[in-house]
Amino acid sequence: MKKIVLATANTHKVIEFQSILNELVSDLELVPASDFLDVPEVAETGATFAENALIKARAINVFTKLPTLADDSGLVVDALNGAPGIFSARYAGLTATDAENVEKLLIEIKDISPDLLFARFECAIALVDSQQNLELVVEGQMPGQVIKEVRGANGFGYDPVFVPQGLAKTSAELSDQEKNQ
């Protein structure tokens, strides 16, 4: 079985990645970086999601010597000039919870017309395998809009206030199967 390290300590991301990868690859063991002793904390110093994903994948690959996947993702709200953007996880502060980040977003958008709340989740995933001299980055986005109320209990982050384009439910109201399509 092939081992790949997932450069995160976020249990939600580990579960989400494992669920998606299990459907695609049968002989893959996804190992969270947090399973390694003394794994370094990697600062996200990039200016884009892609740069941050690559920074994390490179650092954890050097530490573990195993192929490493890393992602960086976040919510981009057009009416807020792209905020929270690459600061999505720490929008309300370095130690902010998901609920605190959502609360700050709701305060920021309270006076903006719902018709102008176009947004998108952006994600960059980097794969680094120094043994194979491989660095790969892929990017994607899910368009939609933010709403001014929290709805749903599935997911994490901004899922309770994000409605994907073409749907009437927030990401937090979708099943894992619906969300991963």
What is the pLDDT, as a whole number, of residue 17? Answer: 86
CATH number of the domain enclosing 113:
3.90.950.10
CA-based radius of gyration for the chain: 17
Q: What is the pTM of this model?
A: 0.90
* Domains of the chain: total: 1
Cβ atoms of 126 and 53 closer than 8 Å = yes
Q: How far apart are CA 165 and CA 169, in angstroms?
A: 10
181 has pLDDT over 80: no
pLDDT tens-digit readout, 15-72? 888 888 877 888 888 899 999 889 998 999 999 999 999 999 999 999 999 999 999 9
pLDDT tens-digit readout, 92-149? 999 999 999 999 999 999 999 999 999 999 999 999 999 899 999 999 999 999 999 9
pLDDT band of residue 1 (cuts 50, 70, 90) is confident
Q: How far apart are CA 169 and CA 176, in angstroms?
A: 13
List Cα–Cα distances, 82 to 14, 43, 125, in angstroms.
Answer: 26, 21, 20
Cβ atoms of 109 and 77 closer than 8 Å = yes
Q: Is 147 exposed, middle or buried (0-12, 13-18, 19+ CB in 10 A)?
A: middle
Q: Which residues are catalytic?
A: 72
What is the pLDDT, as a whole number, of residue 155? Answer: 83
What is the pLDDT, as a whole number, of residue 18? Answer: 84
Domain containing 135 equals 2-179
List Cα–Cα distances, 5 to 52, 63, 94, 111, in angstroms.
Answer: 16, 11, 25, 43
Q: How far apart are CA 60 and CA 42, in angstroms?
A: 8
